[in-house]
Amino acid sequence: MKHYLGNHLPNKIALKMVRLGDLTRTVKRGLSSYYLQGEDATVSMINIKDITSGRIIADTVDSVSVRETPLLARSRIEPGDVILASRGLNFKVAVADESARDFTISSNLVALTLSEEVKPELIAAYFNSPLGQNMIRARASGATIKGLNAKDLLDILIPLPPLSMQESLSRYLALVREYNDLLRKELELRQKLTDAVVLRIMR
């Protein structure tokens, strides 16, 4: 993967800085406690726990009963949306894929639908990096649990590579995700085998 990236990206390039809000078409906010006080509909609601390594783990997403209202649609996400934790110790970020279509987000999250100028994978990777996390924490407020409002998030300046470079980065990041998924599945299989051996011996 290192060889792949090196063939497509120069070592150094001057990048223009662009306000995140200028790259965002829509901001979707999570469901407040008001919407959770009803049983009109059942939705799959993403929370911070469901974000791992820049991915939404659909298998861990909870189904919750909510109050039916036209405003419910504001929290529904689509593939390609960037999902960000808006409070907590670590501001996790992920890109929604097809498995998360029409899921809703909790009040701990915010979703951004970006313009065609920028690849969502690039934004997620940037904010998950130490530099991006520091940018978020610098704008977050709160004594114990830090929180970030949408206005401060959208005011963050993003280094924006040319689209051709973004596409190369996106392909590279896709390879990394596939590799990480294989490792995760292998670890899960090894754990199951270990559990089976222990149970067989200890019975």
The CATH number given to whatever domain includes residue 112 is 3.90.220.20
In a domain, 127, yes or no: yes
In this prediction, what percent of the chain has a pLDDT beyond 90?
38
In a domain, 46, yes or no: yes
Q: What is the pLDDT of residue 195?
A: 84
CA distance 162 to 24: 17
Host H or E run for residue 186: helix 163-202
**Band of pLDDT at residue 12, cut at 50, 70 and 90:** low
Tell me, what DSSP letter sits at residue 39? -
In a domain, 74, yes or no: yes
Residue 190, φ and ψ in degrees, nearest 5: -60, -40
Q: What is the mean pLDDT of residues 90-117?
A: 92
Q: What is the mean pLDDT of residues 8-17?
A: 67
Q: What is the mean pLDDT of the chain?
A: 85
At residue 32, does pLDDT exceed 90? no
What's the pLDDT tens digit per position in 104-118?
A: 998 899 999 999 999
Q: And the tokens for 74?
A: 């504001």
In a domain, 99, yes or no: yes
Reduce the DSSP state of residue 25 to 3 states and report it: strand
User: Of 23, 29, 30, 14, which is closest to residue 155 (Cα–Cα)?
Assistant: 23
In a domain, 92, yes or no: yes
In a domain, 168, yes or no: no
**Band of pLDDT at residue 8, cut at 50, 70 and 90:** low
At residue 165, does pLDDT exceed 70? yes
Number of domains in the chain: 1
CA distance 4 to 79: 26
In a domain, 182, yes or no: no
The domain in which residue 98 lies consists of 16-161
Q: What is the pLDDT of residue 66?
A: 83
Reduce the DSSP state of residue 27 to 3 states and report it: strand
At residue 69, does pLDDT exceed 80? no
Considering the entire predicted model, what is its pTM? 0.79
In a domain, 153, yes or no: yes
**Quick one: three-class SS letters along 43-108?**
EEEECHHHEECCEECHHHCEEEEECCCHHHHHHECCCCCEEEECEECCCCEEECCHHHCCCEEECC
